[in-house]
């Protein structure tokens, strides 16, 4: 598949995705005001799958069957399980902290790429990921006033989700990179969305629609599913094709900044520790990409 593109296209996609995914944590927070973590995760997957189901029907060809196992891996570890891990973690973590933790994704993408997927080791990228990781830890372990955050352990759910993202990103980059981005987004989401829809309607989701603020929460979760999952994954897979999995995963360096911004507007504390952590994250981005030719 030919990947000619404008030299600034990857950077533009990176910035847009960072804003969209950085905003997803405040959207989950709004959904959790009415619905359970399981319902938030399941609804997100269900509506994204429903939107992309026509794409699967249109592109249903034999090559899809031959790589079904890779689509299933991406659907499970790149979409399905993380949706529930994040919604559960945010019952105890602030939206900004959840966004900061997501910055671990490039670390796992690089490590798994080298150890499992056979990508060459590049010292400058490893150093950049490590610096970004240090900035993320600073944001995770300390509150805005510099005090220790006792709820950090719930962040382990997000850490597990970022590990799964690392597997998913490398799987797309290694085994699905020659396919259309819309296909590599649609098929996994539909595979994850079908069981998620069954799970959703086995709960008291429909009865909760009568609660105050329920339909507003549905609106937030619809944006989360349609834009934060369906549309953005198409753009993300395009970014993997044009720039590689490690560069694509650096969206999660900028996401904490967006998440912290929305958290601040929502009344969450923004202090000097956040600024220091974001400075390390931005330095990590520069170190990862300083030798990259685009």
Other CB atoms within 10 Å distance of the CB of residue 224: 26
CA-wise closest residue to 22 among 130, 96, 88, 108: 96
d(CA 63, CA 52): 18
Please report the beta strands in the chain, taking only residues with DSSP state E, as ranges in sequence order. Answer: none
Least confident of 104-108, 121-125, 167-171, 219-223: 121-125
Q: Which two tokens stand for residue 121?
A: 């080791």
Domain assignments of the chain as residue spans, ordered by start: 36-289
Most confident of 95-104, 109-118, 198-207, 228-237: 198-207
Each residue of 31-47: pLDDT tens digit?
A: 999 999 999 999 999 99
- Residue 96: pLDDT over 50: yes
pLDDT for the residue numbered 7: 62
Return the half-sphere exposure (C-beta side, CA atoms, 13 A cut-off) of residue 94.
24
> Residue 241: is it exposed, middle or buried by C-beta count within 10 angstroms (0-12/13-18/19+)?
buried
- Residue 163: pLDDT over 80: yes
pLDDT for the residue numbered 2: 46
- Residue 62: pLDDT over 70: no
d(CA 107, CA 114): 11
Each residue of 227-245: pLDDT tens digit?
A: 988 888 888 878 877 777 7
- Residue 71: pLDDT over 80: yes
């Amino acid at each position: 598949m030919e990947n000619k593109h404008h030299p600034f296209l990857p950077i533009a996609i990176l910035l847009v995705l960072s804003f969209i995914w950085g905003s997803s944590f405040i959207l989950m927070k709004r959904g959790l005001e009415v619905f359970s973590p399981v319902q938030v995760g399941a609804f997100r997957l269900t509506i994204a799958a429903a939107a992309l189901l026509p794409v699967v029907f249109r592109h249903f060809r034999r090559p899809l069957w031959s790589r079904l196992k890779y689509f299933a891996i991406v659907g499970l570890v790149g979409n399905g399980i993380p949706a529930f891990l994040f919604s559960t973690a945010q019952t105890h973590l602030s939206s900004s902290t959840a966004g900061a933790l997501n910055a671990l994704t490039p670390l796992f993408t690089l490590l798994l790429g080298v150890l499992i997927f056979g990508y060459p080791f590049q010292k400058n990228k490893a150093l950049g990921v490590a610096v970004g990781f240090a900035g993320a830890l600073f944001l995770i372990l300390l509150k805005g006033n510099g005090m220790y955050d006792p709820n950090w352990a719930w962040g382990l759910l997000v850490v597990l989700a970022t590990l799964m993202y690392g597997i998913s990103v490398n799987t797309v980059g290694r085994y699905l990179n020659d396919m259309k981005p819309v296909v590599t987004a649609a098929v996994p989401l539909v595979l994850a969305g079908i069981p998620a829809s069954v799970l959703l309607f086995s709960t008291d989701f429909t009865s909760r629609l009568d609660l105050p603020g329920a339909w507003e929460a549905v609106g937030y979760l619809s944006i989360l599913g349609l834009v934060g999952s369906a549309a953005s994954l198409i753009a993300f897979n395009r970014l993997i094709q044009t720039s590689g999995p490690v560069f694509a995963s650096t969206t999660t360096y900028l996401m904490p900044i967006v998440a912290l911004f929305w958290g601040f507007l929502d009344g969450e504390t923004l202090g000097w520790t956040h600024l220091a952590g974001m400075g390390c994250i931005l330095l990590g981005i520069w170190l990862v990409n300083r030798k990259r030719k685009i």
